[in-house]
Amino acid sequence: MRITHLIYDDLGNPWLGGGGAVRAREIYRRLAPRHQITLICGAYPGAPSEERVDGIRILRVGSQRSYALSRLTYALSALRHLGRQDSDVWVHEFSAFAPLFPSTRRRQNGVLFFYHMLGFHAVKKHPIVGWVSWLSENWVLRAYRRILTISPSVTDLIAQRRPDALIQCVYTGVESSYFQTEPEEGDYILYFGRTDIHTKGLDTLIEAFSTLASDHPTLRLRFAGRGSLEQEERLDQLVKAARLEDRVEIIGSVDEATKSELLRRALLVAMPSRYEGWGIAAIEAAAAARPLVGTRIPGLVDAVKDEETGLLVEAGDADALAQSMKRLLEDGDLRHRLGVAGRQWARRFDWEQIAVDQEEFLAKALEPQRPATTPKEH
């Protein structure tokens, strides 16, 4: 197959570089030996406009001047570049903040790749642009007849709205290296992932940590991951406002080896997101045998088995988050039990099988359509 995948995110993108970019690269480098793969991504400073990596042709389009301008110009130009490709099937990885509106003709061989239902979260995050995002989300869910998701809960939500569509869940995998780490508990709670205050609930985490700090005087909170300069500055301001400068460390972007070491020595991992498509960080934490406190939202309820591989609380509830973290901090046996179970749970999310699952769905998208909403079993 000749597959073209439109995804704004990219592994080297300093403004994003999130789980979607990891997923695309891991799957397509496995499919590249037997298919022709093109990724159309957003431009960013210093990135070449075209290169080939792991057998994947990567085109970067739009402006490099700023994150906002990069998003906007990508939304305006990506479909034009798609029209220049000779594709059997193409994938529209929906981004609420860089929406694309392909024609009916072009959608005939298109697949919508949908991570999560933003709903009014988009409006809360960006009161003006968010309305455009909310409207575009509703439009794409009506416009496509072939939809790919990464979690059963999101699959079910879409199936309720589009019972006529071909919908399938294909999970996100985890690197095998995390299974090799041997935990050695340090003195900190770890957050790792994109620095995005609203989406990832980092304001809630700081509020929750501030209530724990006095009872646990040696405990630290460490943030690892990249984000825009604006988001990193806001995170720093939140830490200072809570007077936690001596207890909170903002590490910034880290490589895989450093992330693995941070995970190995963490007491627990916090993932207080307001919305997620799946939660690749949750599976990485599980693979490293680290217990996790997350939120009871679509995506994470699939990635974390409550009371078995981690603990789940309501999104935005700082008190509940603090209580669950306190419970883990004060119960070493519980941390161990959740970590052991989490590692066993994570073994089923193998990138090789996931690549085959996505390959099969894209091939199925070229066949006469029939409804299907059942996720792949692992």
Q: What is the pLDDT of residue 373?
A: 47
List, for residues 205-216, the tens digit of each pLDDT value.
Answer: 999 999 999 999
Neighbouring residues of 99: CB distance < 8 A, sequence distance ≥ 6:
75, 132, 133, 136, 137, 140
Least confident piece of the model among 16-30, 68-82, 121-135, 143-157 = 121-135
- Within 8 A by CB and 6+ apart from 129, the residues are 97, 122
Selected residue with higher pLDDT from 160 and 326:
326
pLDDT tens across 172-195, in order?
Answer: 999 888 998 899 999 999 999 999
Q: What is the pLDDT of residues 4-21, one digit of tens each?
A: 999 999 999 988 888 889
Average pLDDT along the chain: 90
Q: Rounded to an integer, what distance in angstroms lies between the CA atom of residue 321 and that of residue 272?
A: 8
pLDDT of residue 115: 79
In this structure, are residues 3 and 24 in contact, taking their beta carbons and an 8 Å threshold?
no
- 2-173+350-364 belongs to CATH 3.40.50.2000: yes
- Per-residue pLDDT band for 372 (boundaries 50, 70, 90) equals very low
The H-assigned helical ranges of the chain are 19-31, 67-82, 104-107, 121-125, 129-143, 152-161, 197-200, 202-213, 229-241, 256-264, 280-287, 300-303, 318-329, 332-346, 351-364
Give the span between the Cα atoms of 291 and 185, in whole angstroms: 11
What residue segments make up the domains of the chain, in order of their start? 2-173+350-364, 176-346
Q: What is the pLDDT of residue 17?
A: 80
User: What is the model's pLDDT at position 125?
Assistant: 62
Question: Cα separation of 335 and 357, whole Å?
Answer: 33
Tell me what pLDDT residue 243 has: 96
**What does 305-333 look like in DSSP terms, one character per residue?**
-BTTTEEEE-TT-HHHHHHHHHHHHT-HH
Query: Is the model more confident about 279 or about 303?
Result: 303
Asked if pLDDT for residue 341 goes beyond 70, the answer is yes
Cα distance between residue 208 and residue 325, in whole Å: 9
Give the pLDDT confidence score for residue 126 in this predicted structure. 62
Asked whether the predicted pLDDT for residue 120 surpasses 70, the reply is no
Residue 104, exposed/middle/buried by CB under 10 A (0-12, 13-18, 19+)? exposed
**Which segment of 133-137, 162-166, 188-192, 266-270 scores lowest on mean pLDDT?**
133-137
pLDDT band for position 368 (50/70/90)? low
d(CA 318, CA 267): 19
Nearest to 42 by CA among 90, 85, 6: 6
Length of the chain: 378
- pLDDT of 121 > 90? The answer is no
Tell me what pLDDT residue 157 has.
87
**Reported confidence tier of residue 370, pLDDT bands at 50, 70, 90:** low
pLDDT digits (tens, 9 = 90+) for 32-52: 999 999 999 999 999 999 999
Q: How far apart are CA 117 and CA 147, in angstroms?
A: 13
Check residue 359 and give left, alpha or beta (phi > 0: left; psi -120 to 50: alpha): alpha
User: Among residues of the chain, what percentage have pLDDT more than 90?
Assistant: 70
What is the spatial distance between Cα 256 and Cα 249, in angstroms, rounded to a whole number? 18
What is the number of other CB atoms lying within 10 angstroms of the CB of residue 111? 26
173 class by beta-carbon count within 10 Å (0-12 exposed, 13-18 middle, 19+ buried): buried
Q: In this structure, are residues 268 and 325 in contact, taking their beta carbons and an 8 Å threshold?
A: yes
Measured from the Cβ of residue 103, the count of other Cβ atoms closer than 10 Å reads 11
Let me know if the fold of 2-173+350-364 is the same as that of 176-346.
yes
Q: Which residue is listed with tokens 């792949």? A: 376
- Max mean pLDDT range (63-77, 91-105, 117-131, 197-211): 197-211
351-364 helix and 19-31 helix, angle to the nearest 10 degrees: 80
> Which of 129-133, 197-201, 275-279 bottoms out in mean pLDDT, i.e. has the lowest?
129-133
CA-to-CA distance for 32 and 30, rounded, in angstroms? 6
User: How many other C-beta atoms are found inside a 10 Å radius of the C-beta of residue 131?
Assistant: 13
The pLDDT confidence band at residue 312, using thresholds 50, 70 and 90, is: very high
Q: Burial level of 213, CB count in 10 A (0-12/13-18/19+)?
A: middle
Closest by alpha carbon to 276, among 75, 18, 41, 92?
A: 18
Q: What is the pLDDT of residue 136?
A: 77
- Residue 117 clears pLDDT 70, i.e. is over it: no
Looking at residues 296-323, what average pLDDT do you find?
Answer: 96
The CATH number assigned to the domain with range 176-346 reads 3.40.50.2000
Task: Pull the structure tokens for residue 296.
Answer: 């009871």
In the predicted structure, residue 292 carries a pLDDT above the cut 60: yes
User: Among 107-116, 157-166, 295-304, 349-358, where is mean pLDDT lowest?
Assistant: 107-116
> For the stretch 260-290, what's the b/e string if a residue is b when 16 or more beta carbons lie within 10 angstroms of its beta carbon?
bebbbbbbbbbbbbbbbbbbbbbbbbbbbbb
